[in-house]
Amino acid sequence: MSDLLKEADTLWNWVQTHPAPTITVGTVAVLLLVGLAVGLTAFVRRVGAQKATMYVGAGIATGVTATGMWRFFGDVLSMDGLPRFVLFGFIEIAIISCAVSAKKTATRHAARLAETGNTWEKPSTGVDGKAVWALTVLTGVCSAMDARSIAEAVFRLVAPLVAAWLWHRAMASEHEATLARPRSNLAWKVSPERLAVRFGLADPTTRDGNEVAVERVLSRVAKAVYRLRVLEAQEAKAGNAADKHRRKVEKAVEKAGQTVDRRIQEAIEYAGLREPERRQQLLEMVRVTYHGRALTRVELASAWSDWELAETVTERVPVEPDAVPAGGLPALPAEPAPDPEPDL
């Protein structure tokens, strides 16, 4: 800590004794920071926040792996100075180059898949995508071989894998976001969708929620009206019944009437029952519900009528006796004899 304070004090003394270079360096640093901020903002707007964070994370992870290669070049390859500075990051540069090429390959493949209507196959990154993983493993192994401890070796192996995964996600095409599930020839009898429909948690329909809700409200009104009409019919039959049974039926009719009134108010409020088309829809529901037993009296045509064999009747046309001459039918004219072939 004392060394750091001494260096800071030395730097401050230099700044005080050299104001002109300090102002120049500070101005350049501020301009660089502003330019970097503007560039990062434009980059985030162009690729999106998610992609931008992936690129930044992949770059940081690649930088961490580069520190291991820096030590590897110095300790194992005994390089120092300019050669070490120029050559230590060649694998990381190759990783970035392959990632960019893999991104372009995936984009072209995604375009071809979109042209053919293929929405379930993932776009391929080609050989460049595989090279990213291979080079990442290579740099991780090289860095781990020069580790000072087991913990450092594990870190040197994990950091390149993180970098490779982030590069893989960054170079993945946007086509993956629109991938559909692979088509299957199986229709499962037990599935989340079927269970949701079975327990009334979902409706098996492609209509919007508003239309389904309106139909459900009108259906409740139709059921309440059906119950009221049935009870009124029972009340008419119970005119000569015992007082206890008649009072029970009258009480049920009164309760059903209150239910109908309440359901109609709900339909007016939530289903737009004031509109003529909604009232017509409700009448159709009541008609179908109340006259459901009439289906047993509907005459149905045979389902096999198209395959029934129709009998073919051959009619014989009688020949009148007067139409035939006394001597019988005239003989057909004889065919002419062929011309004799000329003598050669």
Residue 333 within a domain: no
Q: Residues 47-62: pLDDT tens digits?
A: 677 777 877 888 888 8
Residue 130 within a domain: yes
pLDDT at 85 over 80: yes
Residues 139 and 237 both lie in one domain? no
Distance, C-alpha 71 to centroid of its chain: 47
Distance between CA 101 and CA 124 in Å, rounded?
12
Residue 11 within a domain: no
Asked whether the beta carbons of 103 and 167 are under 8 A apart, the reply is no
Residues 167 and 234 both lie in one domain? no
Token digits for 332?
């057909």
Residue 70 within a domain: yes
Half-sphere exposure of residue 98, counting CA atoms within 13 Å on the CB side?
A: 21
- Sign for the CA dihedral angle at 73, 74, 75, 77 comes to positive
* Mean pLDDT, residues 25-33: 82
Residue that finishes a domain, picked among 249, 274, 292: 292
DSSP state of 274: T
Asked whether the beta carbons of 220 and 264 are under 8 A apart, the reply is no
- The domain of 154 spans 48-178
User: 1 vs 254, which has greater pLDDT?
Assistant: 254
Residues 53 and 172 both lie in one domain? yes
Residues 77 and 126 both lie in one domain? yes
DSSP state of 206: -
Residue 165 within a domain: yes
Residue 335 within a domain: no
Residues 74 and 138 both lie in one domain? yes
Q: How far is CA 150 from CA 77, 85, 144, 264, in A?
A: 21, 27, 9, 76
Residues 237 and 173 both lie in one domain? no
Question: What was the pLDDT predicted at 344?
Answer: 41
Residues 168 and 214 both lie in one domain? no
Question: What was the pLDDT predicted at 240?
Answer: 65
Residues 52 and 161 both lie in one domain? yes
Residues 150 and 221 both lie in one domain? no
Residue 332 within a domain: no
Residues 118 and 223 both lie in one domain? no
Number of domains composing the chain: 2
Q: Please tell me the pTM assigned to this model.
A: 0.43
Residue that finishes a domain, picked among 158, 178, 198: 178
Least trusted range by pLDDT, from 167-171, 211-215, 262-266: 167-171
Residues 243 and 171 both lie in one domain? no
pLDDT at 204 over 80: no
Residue 101 within a domain: yes
Least trusted range by pLDDT, from 151-165, 190-204, 212-226, 273-287: 190-204
Residues 118 and 237 both lie in one domain? no
Confidence of residue 313 (pLDDT cuts 50, 70, 90): very low
